[in-house]
């Protein structure tokens, strides 16, 4: 199934199913999602809002909000299952082995604690170091993420920092206990456009330095194109296409990906070249049978209504779930 | 527009509220109890064995008759016993509940009309009118409503000539409780009005030249009926409790027309001598009434606010 | 900081002045002080003489100023009913009310916060469900009924605790008498304190629970969980501290409400406090006492409000910046 050229993955997600029981029946928010992240690799995860990007992140770190629950599949970190751990076992993994950066830096930090208090607490939760050592580490970390005069500013409260600076603090917090994997959930969406690139750069550099892998969740293909090694495209809780970034951008196999790619503005492109996908993503309670994309697809044919396509290899390391590829290409 | 808002109201009523009601045993039981008590209160003159407010029907010899036991002197027997003056406790509870409900409903209605009106004006006009009204609301809200009600009651008693104090007591009570309770309504309505008035359809209506009062009543009011209903229901429980409390303190309804609070006050005096029934039965009636209304209000709030579900 | 406090004190003074105006209007225009003081048989000449002597013929402003300056010195006149200086009456009864309010307030706060946190953290547990259901009954039970039922159970049936009065009190200094120092004084406090505190406790509990649930949903709590912090650190550090910010304000106001609600409890337990004094003044239209009580409650509320503001300021660093900025 998966490309066998891949090294032993750091994170391996297989057939992950996430369900939400509601009073109108059970909604399937993630449906057999599979992907790997290699050591040191940056995997981009794109899709419209509601496609299940953030849910995937929450499921991996074990923080699905009730009543949401993992109903099938498995998640492995360096080969060991982590989807069935107890709360306490999982807690030791969170922050220590998997870090997470949230979307809105304005609400991610506790307003009543200084940055130093929050950093030191995080470090000392996972590492056996003294208060003074933890503080030294914290200052170094803030300095590394680009907070000027870190030694002085560390005792400030979050509201003393600007949005961009706060997101740097959030990144420092996520990386405080040196995790192997960082899940960044729309880390720049809430920020001013002028600082978005800087934040992504900081995140990418610091992870590269430490050899940490990154799962970058975003709806911005531009960010993916510049940052990620590989990209997974999610649609209605299913992986539509996954492969190396360059490959996917230049040779998108799935009509949905092709539509998304059309939405990246580049210098040569004029606005009339922007491809718009007609229609909207189906709601979770009305996903059509067969391929979930069939109502919006320009290339739809009868098979798409009958059977759901599974991920098949279309090119080296490049997998697509589409009957077009199946019947035409393979 | 009207049909649109009406159909929306109908839709909410049919789907969510009723669904939630059908699936909440607590709400069903509470609703049943409230309905039962309300019916008993309305038909009290036909249901009650005696009229406790009619002195000619009272026999002091009947006083302190225990429940279900014949009186030592007269041989009369009463289901729930009699009080110190020989009033049948059951009849007094029925008539007392009538007064409690009447005062409670009237006070809430008064508070509601006052609060909605002031809230609409404050929200729509803004500026100093809003500032003044909300300042008054803030100050009043920082004092417990029972204290406000007591003060208003005291002032009214001072202003009314002694000859009329008895007959005016119930109305004074209604005004006192109502005036102490309008703030919640005003706040909710004001908030909603401020949100609503900046919306396009209201602006459009204004441009077309519709009268502000018409805009307020037609377009804004339907949007706040949900919260107002919740506050009204919980307010009803509070008003019933306030009336009982004032009567218990001896400043509510006149002693010749005992309400539940008055009965409990009488009951407390005879606790040590062993006449427990004068206290127990009115207490149960009051608790059942207040608790059921409260439960209904609680359920209504949860049902109308899906975020808390 | 100083500017902020000064501004708050100034606002408080304005509130006090308004309350004073209401009190004065009460004092001056409700009922006829002359006929209340002299009785029906006084002659018109006598009445007019007293009217002149009391300054009732002076212009409104003069009378109001007079009222305020006497109030500041603690002179609220003579009670119509008891024929004693109002201030003396109030001072002799204030310790009873304050001690009762203090004990109830502490009870309400400690148990309210404790239960609130517990029910928020164990939302679906059977104990939480039980506590929440009982609390709803607690809210629906009128305070006086709680008191009467407690008397019935603990004083009449079990005969464990006294049902009325303060028990034996010890005089401290010139006017303060305390019930804390004698066994009967402490025993007498128990039932009234529970009665008075129960309602406030349920309110605080429900507020803490609601605020805590709200805080537990915030992003910074999610982020704290995602960093693997221990539940203890998250719940009792991050969540509780943020919960307390709004809770402090409302709890402070509740403390004021406790003193006002003492009216009811004092009546039920024949507790010799200012509340019982006030209710009798309402019953007999004893206007000077009503006016003085109103002023007293206002002073207490204003003081509590000030303390709450200062506490708020100490807890929430965000306010320090804004207000320091405004003060510069």
Average pLDDT in chain B:
80
Q: How many angstroms away from the CA of C117 is the closest CA of chain A?
A: 19
The tens digit of pLDDT for each residue in A221-243 reads: 888 888 899 999 999 889 999 99
C contact chains, 3+ CB pairs < 8 A: A, B
Q: Do residues B233 and B300 touch, judged by C-beta distance below 8 A?
A: yes
Up-side HSE of residue A147: CA atoms within 13 Å toward CB? Answer: 30
Q: Could you give the angle at which helices A115-126 and A163-174 cross, rounded to 10 degrees? A: 10
Q: Does B55 touch chain C (CB under 8 A)?
A: no
Cβ-Cβ contacts under 8 Å, B251 against chain C = 279, 282-283
Residue A327's pLDDT band (cuts 50, 70, 90): low
Say whether B144 and C31 touch across the interface (CB within 8 A). no
Say whether A91 and C228 touch across the interface (CB within 8 A). yes
Q: Which of C139, C140, C297 sits opposite B147 (nearest CB)?
A: C297
ipTM of the complex: 0.86
Say whether C226 and A95 touch across the interface (CB within 8 A). yes
Which range has highest mean pLDDT (B94-103, B223-232, B273-282)? B94-103
Q: Is C20 within the bounds of a domain?
A: no
More confident residue, B173 or B47: B173
Q: What is the pLDDT of residue C192?
A: 92
The domain B10-51+66-308 is classified under which CATH number: 3.40.50.2300, 3.40.190.10, 1.20.120.1730, 1.10.3720.10?
Answer: 1.10.3720.10
Tell me the residues of chain B between 98 and 127 that have a Cβ less than 8 Å away from chain C: none
Strand partners, C171: C177
Q: Is C46 within the bounds of a domain?
A: no
The torsion angles phi and psi of C170, rounded to 5 degrees, stand at -115, 135
Q: How far apart are the first and last CA of chain C?
A: 10
Q: What is the pLDDT of residue A18?
A: 93
Say whether C219 and A63 touch across the interface (CB within 8 A). no
Inform me whether the pLDDT recorded for A63 exceeds 60: yes
Residue with structure tokens 């995602």? C226
Q: What is the pLDDT of residue C320?
A: 64
The number of domains in chain C is 1
A contact chains, 3+ CB pairs < 8 A: C
pTM for this model (two decimals):
0.78
Q: Does C222 touch chain A (CB under 8 A)?
A: yes
Q: How many CB pairs under 8 A join B and C?
A: 109
Q: How many angstroms away from the CA of C152 is the closest CA of chain B?
A: 7
Inform me whether the pLDDT recorded for C322 exceeds 60: no
Residue C235's SS3 state is: helix
Say whether C316 and A111 touch across the interface (CB within 8 A). yes
Q: Is C312 within the bounds of a domain?
A: yes
Q: Which of B241, B249, B286 sits opposite C279 (nearest CB)?
A: B249
Name the strand (E) or helix (H) holding A302: helix A302-306
Gap between the Cα atoms of B242 and C130, Å rounded:
26
Residue range of the domain that includes C263: 86-327
Say whether C140 and B290 touch across the interface (CB within 8 A). yes
Say whether C145 and B158 touch across the interface (CB within 8 A). no
CA distances from C219 to A66, B298, C121, C223 (A): 15, 28, 17, 6
What is the chain C residue with the closest CA to B260?
Answer: C145
The tens digit of pLDDT for each residue in C110-153 reads: 999 999 999 999 888 889 888 888 887 777 788 888 888 888 88
Structure tokens at C256: 């004021």
Say whether C227 and A104 touch across the interface (CB within 8 A). no
The domain A2-97+179-320 is classified under which CATH number: 3.10.129.10, 3.10.20.520, 3.40.50.300, 3.90.1150.10?
Answer: 3.40.50.300
- For the domain that residue C208 is a member of, what is the CATH number? 1.10.3720.10
Peptide bond into A67 cis (omega under 30): yes
DSSP per-residue codes, A215-274 = EEE-S-HHHHHHH-SEEEEEETTEEEEEEEHHHHHHS--SHHHHHHHTT---SS--GGG-
Say whether C260 and B147 touch across the interface (CB within 8 A). yes
* Contact residues for B290 (Cβ-Cβ < 8 A; gap 6+): B237, B240, B241, B244, C140, C141, C142
Say whether A107 and C219 touch across the interface (CB within 8 A). yes
Inform me whether the pLDDT recorded for B309 exceeds 50: no
Residue A49's SS3 state is: coil
Q: Is C249 within the bounds of a domain?
A: yes
Q: Is C278 within the bounds of a domain?
A: yes
The tens digit of pLDDT for each residue in C157-174 reads: 888 888 777 877 778 777
Cβ-Cβ contacts under 8 Å, C243 against chain A = none
Say whether C227 and A108 touch across the interface (CB within 8 A). no
- The full set of domain ranges for chain B reads 10-51+66-308
Which range has highest mean pLDDT (A311-315, B194-198, C96-100)? C96-100
Q: Which of A100, A157, A170 sits opposite C317 (nearest CB)?
A: A157
Q: Is C6 within the bounds of a domain?
A: no
Q: How many angstroms away from the CA of A280 is the closest CA of chain C?
A: 28
What is the chain B residue with the closest CA to C249?
Answer: B142
The tens digit of pLDDT for each residue in B164-220 reads: 777 778 888 898 888 888 888 888 888 888 877 777 777 777 777 777 777 777 777
Inform me whether the pLDDT recorded for C328 exceeds 50: no
- Residue B77: burial class (beta carbons within 10 Å; 0-12, 13-18, 19+): middle
Q: Do residues C204 and C108 touch, judged by C-beta distance below 8 A?
A: yes
Q: How many angstroms away from the CA of C203 is the closest CA of chain B?
A: 13
Helix, strand, coil percentages (3-state) for chain A, rounded to 5, are 35, 25, 40
What is the chain C residue with the closest CA to A172?
Answer: C227
């Amino acid at each position: 199934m998966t490309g066998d050229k891949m090294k032993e993955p750091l994170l391996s997600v297989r057939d992950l199913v996430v369900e939400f029981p509601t009073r109108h029946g059970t909604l399937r928010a993630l449906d057999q999602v599979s992907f790997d992240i290699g050591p040191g690799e940056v995997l981009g995860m794109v899709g419209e809002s509601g496609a299940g990007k953030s849910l995937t992140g929450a499921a991996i770190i074990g923080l699905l909000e009730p009543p949401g629950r993992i109903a099938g599949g498995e998640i492995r970190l360096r080969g060991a299952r982590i989807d069935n751990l107890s709360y306490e076992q999982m807690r030791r993994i969170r922050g220590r082995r998997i870090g997470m950066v949230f979307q809105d830096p304005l609400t991610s930090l506790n307003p009543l604690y200084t940055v130093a208090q929050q950093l030191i607490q995080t470090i000392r939760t996972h590492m056996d170091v003294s208060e003074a050592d933890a503080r030294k580490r914290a200052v170094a970390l803030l300095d590394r993420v680009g907070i000027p005069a870190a030694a002085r500013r560390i005792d400030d409260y979050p509201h003393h920092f600007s949005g961009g600076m706060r997101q740097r603090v959030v990144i420092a917090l996520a990386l405080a206990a040196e995790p192997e994997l960082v899940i960044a959930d729309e880390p720049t969406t809430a920020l001013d456009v002028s600082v978005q690139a800087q934040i992504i750069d900081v995140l990418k550099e610091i992870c590269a330095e430490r050899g940490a892998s990154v799962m970058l969740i975003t709806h911005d293909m531009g960010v993916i194109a510049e940052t990620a090694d590989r990209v997974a495209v999610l649609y209605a809780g299913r992986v539509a296409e996954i492969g190396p970034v360059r490959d996917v951008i230049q040779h998108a196999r799935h009509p949905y990906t092709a539509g998304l790619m059309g939405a990246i503005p580049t210098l040569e492109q004029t606005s009339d070249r922007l491809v718009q996908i007609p229609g909207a993503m189906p709601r979770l309670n009305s996903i059509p049978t067969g391929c979930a994309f069939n109502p919006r697809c320009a290339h739809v044919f009868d098979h798409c209504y009958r059977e759901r396509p599974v991920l098949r290899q279309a090119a080296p390391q490049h997998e697509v779930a589409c009957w077009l590829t199946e019947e035409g290409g393979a | 527009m009207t049909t649109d808002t009406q159909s929306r109201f109908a839709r909410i009523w049919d789907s969510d509220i009723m669904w939630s009601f059908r699936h909440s045993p607590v709400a069903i039981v509470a609703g049943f109890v409230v309905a039962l008590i309300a019916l008993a209160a309305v038909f009290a003159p036909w249901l009650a064995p005696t009229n406790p407010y009619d002195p000619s029907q009272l026999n002091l010899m009947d006083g302190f008759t225990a429940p279900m036991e014949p009186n030592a002197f007269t041989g009369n027997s009463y289901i729930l016993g009699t009080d110190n003056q020989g009033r049948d406790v059951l009849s007094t509870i029925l008539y007392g509940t009538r007064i409690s409900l009447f005062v409670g409903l009237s006070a809430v209605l008064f508070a509601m009309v006052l609060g909605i009106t002031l809230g609409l004006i404050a929200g729509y006009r803004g500026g100093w009118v809003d500032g003044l009204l909300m300042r008054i609301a803030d100050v009043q809200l920082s004092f417990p409503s029972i204290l406000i009600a007591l003060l208003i009651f005291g002032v009214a008693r001072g202003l009314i000539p002694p000859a009329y104090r008895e007959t005016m007591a119930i109305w004074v009570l209604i005004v006192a409780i109502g005036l102490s309770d309008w703030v919640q309504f005003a706040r909710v309505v004001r908030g909603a009005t401020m949100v609503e008035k900046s919306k396009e359809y209201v602006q459009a209506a204004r441009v077309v030249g519709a009268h502000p009062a018409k805009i307020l009543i037609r377009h804004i009011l339907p949007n706040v009926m949900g919260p107002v209903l919740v506050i009204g229901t919980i307010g009803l429980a509070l008003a019933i409790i306030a009336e009982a409390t004032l009567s218990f303190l001896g400043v509510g309804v006149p002693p010749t027309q005992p309400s539940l609070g008055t009965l409990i006050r009488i009951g407390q005096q005879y606790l040590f001598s062993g006449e427990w029934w004068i206290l127990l039965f009115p207490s149960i009636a009051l608790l059942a009434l207040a608790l059921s209304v409260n439960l209904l209000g609680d359920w209504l709030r949860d049902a109308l606010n899906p975020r808390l579900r | 900081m100083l500017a902020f406090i000064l501004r708050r004190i100034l606002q408080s003074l304005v509130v006090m002045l308004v309350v004073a105006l209401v009190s004065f209007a009460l004092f001056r225009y409700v009922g006829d002080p002359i006929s209340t003081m002299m009785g029906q048989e006084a002659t018109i000449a006598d009445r007019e003489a007293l009217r002149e002597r009391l300054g009732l013929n002076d212009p409104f402003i003069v009378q109001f100023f007079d009222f305020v300056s006497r109030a500041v010195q603690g002179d609220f006149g003579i009670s119509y009913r008891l024929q004693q200086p109002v201030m003396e009456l109030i001072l002799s009864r204030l310790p009873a009310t304050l001690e009762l309010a203090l004990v109830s307030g502490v009870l309400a706060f400690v148990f309210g916060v404790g239960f609130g946190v517990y029910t928020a953290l164990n939302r679906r547990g059977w104990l939480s469900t039980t506590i929440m259901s009982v609390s709803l009954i607690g809210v629906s039970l009128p305070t006086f009924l709680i008191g009467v039922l407690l008397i019935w159970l603990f004083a009449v049936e079990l005969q464990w605790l006294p049902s009325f009065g303060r028990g034996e009190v010890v005089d401290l200094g010139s006017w303060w008498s305390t019930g804390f120092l004698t066994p009967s004084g402490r025993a007498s406090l128990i039932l009234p304190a529970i009665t008075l505190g129960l309602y406030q406790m349920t309110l605080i509990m429900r507020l803490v629970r609601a605020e805590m649930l709200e805080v537990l949903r915030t992003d910074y709590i999610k982020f704290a969980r995602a960093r693997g912090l221990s539940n203890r650190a998250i719940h009792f550090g991050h969540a509780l501290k943020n919960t307390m910010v709004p809770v402090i304000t409302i709890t402070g106001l509740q403390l004021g409400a406790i003193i006002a609600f003492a009216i009811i409890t004092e009546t039920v337990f024949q507790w010799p406090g200012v509340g019982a004094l006030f209710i009798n003044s309402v019953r007999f239209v004893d206007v000077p006492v009503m006016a003085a009580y109103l002023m007293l409650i206002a002073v207490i509320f204003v003081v509590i409000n000030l303390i709450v503001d200062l506490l708020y300021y100490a807890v929430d660093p965000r306010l320090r910046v804004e207000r320091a900025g405004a003060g510069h």
